[in-house]
Chain A
Amino acid sequence: MLSPQKTLDTYYLEARRDLLEVAAMLDRYDEAVKRDGAKAENESKKVSLLGAMEILAQPEHPNANRAEQLLNHFAKIT
């Protein structure tokens, strides 16, 4: 098992990359809206992603179950 510091040092760059991909995907959506002059008919996937980030942004997760929370959150999207 990794120490707390080793955990951050090992996975920080990959997590950074993944967050950048999410940011770029949302930018891609906004650019598409600008190009087409209209939002998607159904924005629930975007709303779901933003909701997921709110869950991640909560400072305390005493059960260390963010992944489980996100899976349950994403399960609401059909």
Chain B
Amino acid sequence: MAMSGVVAVCEPAFWAGFDRRHPETFIDYFAQISEFEPTRAAEFGIRHYCWVAVNPKEAENKELTNEVLRQMPEFLEKPTCLGVGETGLHKSTPNEIESLQAHVEMAMKHDQLVLIHTPHLSDKAHGTKTVLEVLAGMDVNPDKIWIDHVEEQTIEPVLDAGYWAGMTLYPVTKCSPRRAVDILEKYPRERLLVNSSADWGPSDPFTLQESIVEFRRRGHSLQAAVEIYHNNPCRFLGQNPKWDIKPITISEE
């Protein structure tokens, strides 16, 4: 990844492939991604940042969620923690919505960035609409909120509401590298983010590079690519002073 130009990765607190039963398991996981993983990535020349949250797939457990939330502020202080995430919705249940509200409230109270997951596949449109309704009822700063996994059917309302919109590239289940470029060509790019993943399902971090190659193949300049794939993340994440990677300008094409 470093050899292909990746300078940093941002690891949101994620579902582990199974539902955790104990708050302590989350706390150990937060310690792993905020303390150990930065050292591991550094050996390969990549900066590692994290987000902390009870992810939506496990937010159905209210008792667990509340206990983890109680201990989360300690991790928001970690030098590589960028904010609260990924929170959001999976099946859009009342407990998930309550968890989303609590996470966003905590983020705003601690002046943190927020990374919000939107549901997969058939639940996506409804779940994204619900996320926007929840946020509309709260006192939030849209500049600090990244709503992730948008696709063709959800990007407009996210951008219209003033949030940052993230396209997560996956080999099968979400946005593809080519479709992401279609979206980049269709909408204003100032608040668009493109990311890839390495997680519990079929995923491929290098779909990001595929998307960059596709973008360039269509004749867009190197600087235009840098603006989207490097500078936009720097602009959003740079709202947190812990992110010290700056936007760059190509002096010669």
Which A positions have Cβ atoms within 8 angstroms of B?
13-14, 17, 20-21, 24-25, 27-28, 31
Contacts and interface: CB of A to CB of B under 8 A. Distances in A.
Ranked 7 nearest A-B pairs via Cβ: A24-B179, A17-B172, A13-B172, A24-B182, A28-B182, A14-B172, A13-B173
B186 interface: yes
A27 B179 CA distance: 10
Task: Give the interface size bracket for B toward A.
Answer: 10 to 19
Interface string B147-176: 000001000000000000000000111001
B185 A21 contact: no
Nearest to A24: B179
B178 interface: yes
Task: State the main secondary structure of chain A at its contact with B.
Answer: helix
Interface in B164-213: 171-173, 176, 178-179, 182, 185-186
A27 B176 contact: no
A31 B186 contact: yes
A13 B185 CA distance: 26
Contacts of A24: 152, 176, 178-179, 182
A53 B240 CA distance: 49
Contacts of B152: 24
Contacts of A25: 178
A36 B172 CA distance: 32
B120 to A, nearest CB: 10
A71 to B, nearest CB: 24
A21 B182 contact: no
Contacts of A20: 176, 179
Contact of B179 (A13, A21, A31): A21
A14 to B, nearest CB: 6
A49 to B, nearest CB: 16
A16 to B, nearest CB: 8
